[in-house]
Amino acid sequence: MILIYCTHKNKEEAEKIAKHLLEKKLIACANFLPIESAYLWKGKVESGKEYVSLLKTQEKHWSRVKEEIEKIHPYEIPCILKIHVEANSSFEKWIQEETQEK
């Protein structure tokens, strides 16, 4: 199982991308968290408020999830990180069931 960490300019953008992935059955669920970010961008230190989405899915969907996010994400260079995780067996089973390709 993997957790995908992705940053967004606001909650609406995060929800839009998550809904797109849920409808394609590429993720089973998403969480949204407000954050404050500091980063280098084109030689300058920038900072601002963003939202993080935490997306849960199977490892086999990583490439497709990444491609789908890159297609619709408004950032020039979106942050899309894959984190390998372990979960309780009933939760992992649910993730597998909800992300089965039809």
Report the distance separating Cα 99 and Cα 93, nearest Å. 10
Report the distance separating Cα 70 and Cα 79, nearest Å. 9
Rg, Å, the chain Cα set: 14
Q: What is the pLDDT of residue 52?
A: 98
How confident is the model over 62-78, as pLDDT tens digits? Answer: 999 999 999 999 999 99
- Per-residue burial over 2-15, b if 16 or more Cβ lie within 10 Å, else e, is bebebbbeeeebbe
Domain ranges of the chain: 2-98
Q: What is the pLDDT of residue 100?
A: 85
The CATH code of the domain at 2-98 is 3.30.70.120
Does residue 102 register a pLDDT over 70? no
How confident is the model over 12-40, as pLDDT tens digits? Answer: 999 999 999 999 999 999 999 999 999 99
